[in-house]
Structure 1
Amino acid sequence: MNHQSALMKQRRFLPFFLTQFLGAFNDNVYKNALVVLLTFQAARYTTLAPGILVNLCAGLFILPFFLFSATSGQIADKYEKSRLMRFTKLLEIVVMALACVAFAFESLALMLACLFLMGAQSTLFGPVKYAILPQHLREDELIGGNALVESGTFVAILLGTLAGGVLVSLPDGTLWVSIATVAIAVLGYLASRGVPLAAAAAPELTINWNPVTETCRNLAFTRGNRTVFLSILGVSWFWFYGAVFLSQFPAYAKDVLGGNEHAVVLLLAVFSVGIGIGSLLCERLSTGHIEIGLVPFGSIGLSLFALDLWWSSPAAVAAGTAALPLAEVLARPGTWHAIADLVAIGIFGGFYIVPLYALIQSRSEPEHRSRIIAGNNILNALFMVVAAAMGAGLLAAGLGVTGLFLVTGLLNIAVAAYIYTLVPEFLLRFLVWLLVHTVYRLEVKGIGHIPQNGPAVLVCNHVSFVDALVIMAASRRPIRFVMHHHIFRLPLLRFVFREGRAIPIASAKEDPEMVRRAFDEVARALEAGELVAIFPEGHITEDGEIDGFRPGIRRIVERTPVPVVPLALRGLWGSFFSRKDGRAMSRPLRRGIFNRIELVAGAPLAAADASAEALQARVAELRGDWR
């Protein structure tokens, strides 16, 4: 059973998921009901133009993220999280009850105040939502858990948007919205009562109630880990990208597709469904661990399909043309192409965002995690505001909606290139992921024998030029490989091993000084708690058999006694990267693509038992007859 379906049956996840889903659903029921009400009935409440009121609503909902995220991050770190969840859901009931009063008395000021309070409640809930997952889920479950949360959130946004618009359009619509929002808030509170305890990360923390200074501190926390900070920037960029697209759906549906409000709902639906599909596919493509190689894959898709949407969109309809019903919109040339592009953008958005959230959660310091996520929320809100300003400015300057999609797609290429230049780990993992999902189909057995924390030496038979990349793809932790220095001359592998901090080595006859430096670096890596991998044969096999293991492994573990984990690669002999029948990489697609290979890990050996002979026998046993 995969982690996603299993998590939905467990108390440590399901009540939290329902709490989050119902909260996102209720936010959008109320927000969209208010937007629709003010769009079509603004004259009942004010002389302000509907367009101004709609933008005011958007600003009021997002403003609390700037004002209160820093404080909410501290609260989430200081107090037990399931209790905080119940408190925020009770607050939601109070706010929705107040909204009932606003609707009953037709008080615009109170309606807008309730929208601001809903934003504040969501601001308080945000750091708790993402910080609680690493406390209840194992690292290998984080991708699946985040995928469910992200897909569920977008489905909730879609359903809430639809429900809000439908309910407020009924006779006595505000009464129906009042009943629905209070009922949903009560259901959310009941769901929150099932969330298990999640201990406070920093109970001794003294809360700083000054939002300005604390916001600066939160942003400083996000910069504490460079990879985490750049991942936060990546997440914020996704919300920028998404905000541009979502805000243009009404104009695209009306001016390009020629449709009415039903066409807007269709665009929102296919975009949301795409993100849900992409999010749920992440765990399958990640093979059980946080696979940040999917992030570049996602960003490539986000750019390509944004550019294709610009290129393939139908010509804009003439001004003043009557809106077409949905069936006629779907019959227009180019509509289905645009829908396919939006689904693809959503899918690749899921590939992009889910690993980034999981990476932020797993690599943040636990005692600061909620405040780091609060800093993420602040930056997300800032990027969305900038997206709105950019969109408004470019449209006012005469750029069309499809031109805005083009600009966003090109900006995405520039931002992705910038981030992957700063953190080559993303690109490295993408190349590794691409290898084992195109050329090979990798099956991993016994991966739990590789320790999740602390130092260890991994030893493996050496079959091909991509052995290290296959092991990288299977491991949940970074590995430093000891590689012959000649391997660094190969263009692609040079990048992979340089960025993977591989340790170059030569033979003792060729360069004894390089040998000494290599063993010193291995010792430093193990003392720092890292994983180090070596191929004790010292060369790639010429006949598919395992050659004698050299004694260097004894030198390593005698100097730094750590567990030694035997690994065996199966199925690589005869592949394009092996030396079967002569020089490697000389016969492209010798075995086609999607070849099945295996990596098998055995139980660790203590340093005292890790002789070259014992390890060679164990690796041979793990490999068996399949070369």
Structure 2
Amino acid sequence: MSDSPLPATSYAQSATREHPSQFGLMKQRRFAPFFWTQFFGALNDNVFKIGFTSLVTYQTARFSGVDAKTAAFLISAIFIVPFVLFSATSGQIADKYDKATLTRFVKTFEIVVMLIGGAGFLWHQVSLLYLGTFLMGVHSTLFGPVKYAYLPQHLDDHELVGGNGLVEMGTFIAILVGTIIGGASAGFVEHGTWILACSCVTIAIVGRLTSSMVPASPALQADLRINWNPFTETWRNLALARENRTVFLSLLGVSWLWFVGATFLTSFFNFAKDVLSANPDVVTVLLATFSLGIGTGSLLCERLSKRRVEIGLVPLGSIGMSVFAIDLYFASHALPSAQHLFTVGEFLGQLRHWRILADLFLLAMFGGFYSVPLYALIQSRSQPTHRARMIAANNILNAFFMIVSALMAIVLTSAGVSIPGIFLTTALLNIVVAAYIYSLVPEFLLRFIAWVLVHTFYRIRLVHPERIPVTGPAVLVCNHVSYVDAVVIMAESPRPIRFVMDYHIFRSRFGGWVFRHAKAIPIAPSHEDPTMLTKAYDACAEALAEGELVCIFPEGKLTRDGDINAFRHGVTHIVERTPVLVIPMALRGLWGSVFSRDTDAHWPRPLRKGVSSRLTLAVAEPLEPQAATPEALQRIVTELRGPRR
């Protein structure tokens, strides 16, 4: 037996804060002031940008030297440039200083920026408005790492998905409200610029007041020495992000969403005017629909994921985004031109326009399914001392992708491609990018397959799932009832698991593909293949040494009568080499399903109406390795399962 100390393992214990739903966070000081601070910041971003974009699109004559067809993309690009230049520096600052102090500084800076932007509105000076756009980009660059590093510092692991969902929902409601204020204000020909200037300054002041109530958030690396060279630090941040492959590819996934979102959002003005023949008020309807979709998807994530980081939702999100973006092209590419610009009432009075709104809403909703788990995954798997710099790396990538998005839109527009054509191009690119990312990180796709299969056929009850460690190595032990036991456990685990499985499974077409990509460990009895048995134990030791979870079914075979077979000594051999905690688990409810060896097997719902499809996964208290004998484990698992098979 190894004489190395028992590895430390982290748990989401019952001592964590509890609240009935994610909305309970809105009543707590650790979250609410921060939420409203970021809300008013996002609101002001959009009042300013939408007001500016609307003016130069529909009142171009009042601003000299502006091309109405490309102005929206140019404004977006100018806003993004600071993310490329200063994200690396802002990430260091967020790791080095108290985040509450930084928040108040950023909100004070916002007031100054809005005074400059307000002057640009009042004097119709495009140069001042472009400067204001750039400085608002600086404001968002400074606040971005603070925002996403703040959440895991004040929320428990089981609250991260809900907290991120609320932030995403709040951001897009802010976009909606900001769109309404900015678009409506710009619509007043005589006094619109005054209303925009006053609105932006007032919102900045309100945001500064709410920031004063954000609780202290001590620096996690106060001794950090800041590298003020943005180029070398940018490269260092990206290199730091690449150290964790899953986190880095998650960053790329988030950045791709910003590429898609930026393409659609910056196209809405020209889409409304040139394709839908609609006035600026209809732009507000489009943006409102898009924002409500994102908000709905973000809020549904907590319910669908059962308050944990469920990356199986990410492929679901990407599939939905492509499907409805493609349908949006077919719904809008051949619309007849109108003699005048439709009002909101006239636009909503035509049935074909409701299909467009439905596509936008569902596209955005699936975008929420896509983004929230990725943000939560990045936060949960990044080192706390480097978390803000991970977010900074994300902002750098986001900015790059959004700039490429703006350039692509400008090039395609200049080449005569219509706005629906740009939407179709983006949808097809989304399919290619998603397939590439999932081929690099099969974990996303495997979780999706497991999540869909399990939640389509079963209602799962979890008993003490918090006992499965969220970090650190451990051996999971479970009874073996059916061919889908591993899929069920995979779907309900907070993190990837290395399953030890009979080598015959690897010869099957579908099961072999799934478990090979899940990095399962094939095993054979010593009398059949002693070499494979030795390699299996070596692979288990290596996985545990790297801090992974290993799951073994110690019966060694499926039950033929529903009763638990005698446990073998495989677990003993594993923990003798690597002494880690052993966690007994029990599945009940799968015996009698078509996936078991019951001779009277039946299909679970929804394929067989009226048959109960409820099953339970129960988790026992962890055992020290020396206490995890086959006899003790079999007794615990049997008691945990109970009479129901």
SS of equivalent to 2:487 = helix
Partner of 1:441: 459
Partner of 1:131: 149
Partner of 1:283: 302
Aligned residues: 626
Deviation at 1:554, TM superposition (A): 2.7
1:165-204 per-residue CA deviation (whole Å, 9 max, x = no partner) reads: 2234445333333332222222212222222222323322
SS of equivalent to 2:29 = coil
User: 1 CA distance for matches of 2:77 and 2:101?
Assistant: 29
Partner of 1:340: 358
Deviation at 1:7, TM superposition (A): 1.9
Return the match for 1:412 from 427, 430, 434. 430
Partner of 1:482: 500
User: 2 CA distance for matches of 1:588 and 1:157?
Assistant: 39
Deviation at 1:470, TM superposition (A): 0.9
Instruction: Return 320-329 or 505-514, whichever deviates more.
Output: 320-329
Return the match for 1:89 from 100, 107, 116. 107
Partner of 1:381: 399
Answer whether contact 1:576 1:589 (CA < 8 A) is retained. Answer: no
Partner of 2:179: 161
Whichever residue aligns with residue 155 of structure 2, its letter is L
Partner of 1:578: 596
Pairs within 5 Å for 1:49-448: 49-51=67-69, 54-103=72-121, 107-170=125-188, 171-313=190-332, 315-318=334-337, 321-448=339-466
**CA separation of 1:489 and 1:591: change in aligned 2, threshold 3 A:** farther
User: 2 CA distance for matches of 1:536 and 1:334?
Assistant: 59
1:543-583 per-residue CA deviation (whole Å, 9 max, x = no partner) reads: 11112212332333334332221111111111121111178
1:226-265 per-residue CA deviation (whole Å, 9 max, x = no partner) reads: 2222112211111111122223223333343332222222
User: 1 CA distance for matches of 2:203 and 2:612?
Assistant: 47
Return the match for 1:491 from 479, 486, 509. 509
SS of equivalent to 2:586 = strand
Deviation at 1:47, TM superposition (A): 5.1
User: 2 CA distance for matches of 1:162 and 1:531?
Assistant: 49
| Coordinate RMSD, CA, aligned | 2.4
**CA separation of 1:117 and 1:272: change in aligned 2, threshold 3 A:** same
Whichever residue aligns with residue 322 of structure 2, its letter is S
Answer whether contact 2:94 2:102 (CA < 8 A) is retained. Answer: yes
Whichever residue aligns with residue 503 of structure 2, its letter is H
Answer whether contact 2:481 2:591 (CA < 8 A) is retained. Answer: yes
Larger RCO, structure (CA 8 Å, separation 6 or more): 2
User: 1 CA distance for matches of 2:566 and 2:362?
Assistant: 50
SS of equivalent to 1:464 = coil
**CA separation of 1:486 and 1:360: change in aligned 2, threshold 3 A:** same
Pairs within 5 Å for 1:586-605: 589=607, 595-605=613-623
1:85-117 per-residue CA deviation (whole Å, 9 max, x = no partner) reads: 111011112222344455555554333322222
User: 1 CA distance for matches of 2:629 and 2:576?
Assistant: 10
Partner of 1:455: 473
User: 2 CA distance for matches of 1:394 and 1:49?
Assistant: 16
User: 2 CA distance for matches of 1:91 and 1:409?
Assistant: 38
Instruction: Return 492-501 or 405-414, whichever deviates more.
Output: 492-501
**2:41 is the alignment partner of 1:23:** yes
Answer whether contact 2:592 2:602 (CA < 8 A) is retained. Answer: no
Whichever residue aligns with residue 400 of structure 2, its letter is L
SS of equivalent to 1:19 = helix
Answer whether contact 1:255 1:317 (CA < 8 A) is retained. Answer: no
1:348-370 per-residue CA deviation (whole Å, 9 max, x = no partner) reads: 11111111111222222333222
SS of equivalent to 1:443 = strand
**CA separation of 1:196 and 1:214: change in aligned 2, threshold 3 A:** same
SS of equivalent to 1:565 = strand
Partner of 1:624: 642
User: 1 CA distance for matches of 2:421 and 2:193?
Assistant: 38
Whichever residue aligns with residue 279 of structure 2, its letter is N
**Which runs of 5 or more residues in structure 2 are unaligned?**
1-18
Answer whether contact 1:144 1:282 (CA < 8 A) is retained. Answer: yes
Whichever residue aligns with residue 430 of structure 1, its letter is F
Answer whether contact 1:215 1:375 (CA < 8 A) is retained. Answer: yes
Deviation at 1:295, TM superposition (A): 0.9
**CA separation of 1:49 and 1:297: change in aligned 2, threshold 3 A:** closer
User: 1 CA distance for matches of 2:153 and 2:88?
Assistant: 21
**CA separation of 1:8 and 1:55: change in aligned 2, threshold 3 A:** same
Q: What TM-score, normalized by structure 1, do the two folds share?
A: 0.94
User: 2 CA distance for matches of 1:5 and 1:48?
Assistant: 44
**CA separation of 1:435 and 1:190: change in aligned 2, threshold 3 A:** same
Whichever residue aligns with residue 147 of structure 2, its letter is K
User: 2 CA distance for matches of 1:104 and 1:508?
Assistant: 83
Answer whether contact 2:73 2:409 (CA < 8 A) is retained. Answer: no
SS of equivalent to 1:482 = strand
Instruction: Report percent identity of matched pairs.
Output: 57
**CA separation of 1:540 and 1:180: change in aligned 2, threshold 3 A:** same
User: 2 CA distance for matches of 1:604 and 1:13?
Assistant: 33
Answer whether contact 1:314 1:335 (CA < 8 A) is retained. Answer: no
Moved segments of 4+, more than 6 Å: 582-588, 591-594
User: 2 CA distance for matches of 1:546 and 1:301?
Assistant: 42
